[in-house]
Amino acid sequence: MSYERLIAHHRELALLSSVAALLEWDERTLMPPAAGPYRAEQLTALAGMIHRRRTDPAIGEWLDAAGDVGGDPASPEATNVRELRRAFDKESRRPAELVERITRATVIGQQRWQAARAANDFASFAPSLETIVALRREESAALGPTEHPYDPLLDDYEPGETAATVGPVLRELRDELVPIVRAIADDGRPPRRDVLERRYAPDAQAAFARDAAAAIGFDFDAGRLDTSAHPFCSGVAPRDCRITTRYLERFFSGAFFGVLHEAGHGIYEQGLDPDAFGLPAGSAVSLGIHESQSRLWENLVGRRRSFWEHFYPTLRAAFPGTLDDVTLDEFHAAINDVRPSLIRVEADELTYNLHILLRFELECALMTGDLSVGDLPGAWNDAMARDLGITPPDDTNGVLQDIHWGAGLVGYFPTYALGNVFASQLFERAAVELGDLDAQFAAGEFTPLRDWLRVHVHRPGQARPARALIEHVTGTPPAPDALLRHVRDVAALHGIESR
Ligand code: ZN
């Protein structure tokens, strides 16, 4: 009986959260600007209702009474009880007054960050960031004790992972990646970059991207593709997943690979059990696993030659005249361009990881106190020079570029690189089980891969945490080897043979 009450309570929570998600989607896509103030009231009212239900003390009583479900620990019932208990226990250790102070500090932090970035004035942001770091350390201590003060914060996004488990994977990735990226920059054959910067009519881009998203398995009967300033994916309700992108007339890759990325997130959402919507058994495992699904379709499938053996003739036809002088191989090299650059969100697939790894290292050092906020810009520039071989001309293009730290998000960055690590491991395993994936892609067949992911990754929900899931599915715990094999394939496209 307690289990049923627990589940009914959380279904109601999921329903309220789903209403909020739909209002948020509307705000970011269709809402007229003047509707903003009342929308804020609507969302605040819902947030209050959601918060009261999420922290209802009855949850603890139901969990206690439900006890140990027994049986298969990966069953939906065991998954729901275990994960709801984990979340409830962690929330009850987070002091309410501290949460309030953090909320206030991060609202101010984002405003200061925005002004500081526009003015290239790190000093005006530093006091705010110092407050945020101090509060996050205080929070970590309240949630601890843990081996590393970073651990409880990372655990919010990547449950179960710690600096000690993730650190070695990410450092090994960096140590191997830095010389390969350097070799491509110094000695690689540069691709014909201009071919992606020709005129691509936005309407034709939208139609082509939509067809590609449908081909890889995003279900448009249970989803939509719209435009927004910042692309996102929202699983607003069972059988209702919304993705967005934005189209630049003179840059093909931005919208197209953005759509594949968001469609990858969407295919994960659509693959979850709709009858367990909002419950752990029907929810994504972690940000890293979510990101593994978007990056698998965007990079491992979408930038692969066999994918374009199928799509290139259609692409040429969609933009008449634009690519007549560009061979498939030239196009393939161009979409796999590797170039060290200053801005994370504009980085290519390979150097992107280096942007993440330096942020991970710096935020760990901020949390231990080994690095002070005042020394952060210098440490940033040193790490950029060491890992990417370039030094930012100013802080706007350096330490001030991301909203994350100003918004209080510490421990979030590594999930992006973990996504790449997980994606490569899953893709290699799928290739072993599904046979010649390249032959399938060249024939426009993506369903076998999507269905394999659905069975092994999507449908189980939170039956296993990320590390156990990867080991269960691939036979190997998280490790950078598969990603590095892929990195060497990309390097070879540019004439760099590493090993
Ligand atoms: Zn993503």
DSSP string, 177-211: HHHHHHHHHHHS----GGGGGS---HHHHHHHHHH
Identify whether the C-beta of residue 330 lies closer than 8 Å to the C-beta of residue 194. Answer: no
Does residue 105 sit in the same domain as residue 227?
no
Q: Calculate ∠ Cα 110-113-119, nearest 5°.
A: 145
Task: Tell me the CA–centroid distance for residue 242 and ligand 1, in Å.
Answer: 14
3-state secondary structure of 263: helix
Task: Tell me the CA–centroid distance for residue 291 and ligand 1, in Å.
Answer: 5
- The DSSP bridge partners found for residue 237 are 240
Task: Tell me the CA–centroid distance for residue 372 and ligand 1, in Å.
Answer: 30
Residue 106 confidence (pLDDT):
93
On whether residue 10 sits in a domain, the answer given is yes
* C-alpha distance across the termini of the chain, in Å: 60
3-state secondary structure of 223: strand
Does residue 298 sit in the same domain as residue 445?
yes
3-state secondary structure of 241: strand
Does residue 132 sit in the same domain as residue 169?
no
Report CA-CA distances (Å) from 189 to 157, 494, 495, 498: 39, 5, 6, 14
Task: Tell me the CA–centroid distance for residue 292 and ligand 1, in Å.
Answer: 8
Does residue 252 sit in the same domain as residue 110?
no
3-state secondary structure of 498: coil
Amino acid at site 460: P
Task: Give start and end residues of each alpha helix (H) in 401-480.
Answer: 414-434, 437-442, 447-453, 466-474
- What does the alpha-carbon distance between residue 270 and residue 272 come to, in Å, rounded to a whole number? 6
Q: Which two tokens stand for residue 66?
A: 């439900």
Task: Give start and end residues of each alpha helix (H) in 272-391.
Answer: 287-295, 305-318, 328-335, 349-368, 376-388
- The Cα diameter of the chain in Å comes to 70
Task: Tell me the CA–centroid distance for residue 205 and ligand 1, in Å.
Answer: 20
On whether residue 154 sits in a domain, the answer given is no
Backbone angles phi, psi at 159, to 5 degrees: -50, 130
On whether residue 498 sits in a domain, the answer given is no
- What does the alpha-carbon distance between residue 337 and residue 386 come to, in Å, rounded to a whole number? 21
Does residue 215 sit in the same domain as residue 360?
yes
Task: Tell me the CA–centroid distance for residue 254 and ligand 1, in Å.
Answer: 14
Interstrand relation of 233-237 and 240-245 (parallel, antiparallel or unpaired)? antiparallel
Residue 147 bears catalytic tag: no
Task: Tell me the CA–centroid distance for residue 26 and ligand 1, in Å.
Answer: 20
* Single pTM value for the model: 0.97
Residue 69 confidence (pLDDT):
79
Q: Which CATH number belongs to the domain containing residue 333 in this structure?
A: 1.10.1370.30
* pLDDT tens sequence across 152-178: 999 999 999 999 999 999 999 999 999
77 CB-near residues (< 8 Å, 6+ apart):
3, 69, 71, 281
Question: Tokens 């030239």 map to which residue?
Answer: 330
Task: Tell me the CA–centroid distance for residue 344 and ligand 1, in Å.
Answer: 13
For the four alpha carbons of 479, 304, 310 and 197, in that order, the dihedral sign comes to positive
Q: Which long-range contacts (CB under 8 A, 24 or more apart) does 242-245 make?
A: 242/25, 242/29, 243/213, 243/218, 244/28, 244/29, 245/209
The strand order across the sheet containing 240-245 reads 223-227, 240-245, 233-237
Does residue 169 sit in the same domain as residue 135?
no
- What does the alpha-carbon distance between residue 346 and residue 251 come to, in Å, rounded to a whole number? 12
Among 222, 220, 309, 323, which residue's Cα sits nearest to residue 274? 222
Amino acid at site 320: P
Q: What is the pLDDT along the chain (499 residues), one digit of tens a residue?
A: 899 999 999 999 999 999 999 999 999 999 999 999 999 999 999 999 998 999 899 999 999 998 877 789 999 999 999 999 999 999 889 998 999 999 899 989 999 999 999 999 999 999 999 999 999 999 999 998 899 999 999 999 999 999 999 999 999 999 999 999 999 999 999 999 999 999 999 999 999 999 999 999 999 999 999 999 889 999 999 999 999 999 999 999 999 999 999 999 999 999 999 999 999 999 999 999 999 999 999 999 999 999 999 999 999 999 999 999 999 999 999 999 999 999 999 999 999 999 999 999 999 999 999 999 999 999 999 999 999 999 999 999 999 999 999 999 999 999 999 999 999 999 999 999 999 999 999 999 999 999 999 999 999 999 999 999 999 999 999 999 999 999 999 999 999 997 6
Q: Which long-range contacts (CB under 8 A, 24 or more apart) does 33-36 make?
A: none
Number of domains the chain contains: 2
Interstrand relation of 223-227 and 240-245 (parallel, antiparallel or unpaired)? parallel
Among 330, 348, 340, which residue's Cα sits nearest to residue 493? 330
Does residue 226 sit in the same domain as residue 330?
yes
Does residue 137 sit in the same domain as residue 222?
no
Question: Tokens 């939208």 map to which residue?
Answer: 206
Report CA-CA distances (Å) from 496 to 193, 195, 331, 334, 444: 18, 22, 18, 15, 30
DSSP state of 320: T
Task: Tell me the CA–centroid distance for residue 233 and ligand 1, in Å.
Answer: 8
Range of the domain at 223: 163-493
Task: Tell me the CA–centroid distance for residue 258 and ligand 1, in Å.
Answer: 9
Task: Tell me the CA–centroid distance for residue 76 and ligand 1, in Å.
Answer: 26
Does residue 376 sit in the same domain as residue 249?
yes
On whether residue 380 sits in a domain, the answer given is yes
Give, as residue ranges, everything with CB less than 5 Å from ion ligand 1.
Answer: 294
On whether residue 153 sits in a domain, the answer given is no
Task: Tell me the CA–centroid distance for residue 324 and ligand 1, in Å.
Answer: 33
Does residue 190 sit in the same domain as residue 138?
no
Last residue of a domain, one of 120, 147, 174: 147
Task: Give start and end residues of each alpha helix (H) in 217-251.
Answer: none
Residue 113 confidence (pLDDT):
96
H helix or E strand, kind and range, residue 145: none
Q: Which two tokens stand for residue 180?
A: 């390969």
Last residue of a domain, one of 117, 147, 177: 147
Backbone angles phi, psi at 188, to 5 degrees: -75, 160
Does residue 172 sit in the same domain as residue 131?
no
- What does the alpha-carbon distance between residue 31 and residue 464 come to, in Å, rounded to a whole number? 38
312 CB-near residues (< 8 Å, 6+ apart):
328, 331
DSSP state of 371: S
On whether residue 157 sits in a domain, the answer given is no
Task: Tell me the CA–centroid distance for residue 373 and ligand 1, in Å.
Answer: 28
Identify whether the C-beta of residue 493 lies closer than 8 Å to the C-beta of residue 332. Answer: yes
Does residue 143 sit in the same domain as residue 187?
no
Last residue of a domain, one of 147, 172, 195: 147
Task: Tell me the CA–centroid distance for residue 232 and ligand 1, in Å.
Answer: 8
Report CA-CA distances (Å) from 391 to 60, 251, 480: 52, 26, 27
Among 242, 249, 244, 243, which residue's Cα sits nearest to residue 203? 249
In the chain, % of residues over pLDDT 70: 100
On whether residue 224 sits in a domain, the answer given is yes
On whether residue 155 sits in a domain, the answer given is no
Catalytic residue among 262, 291, 349, 363: 262
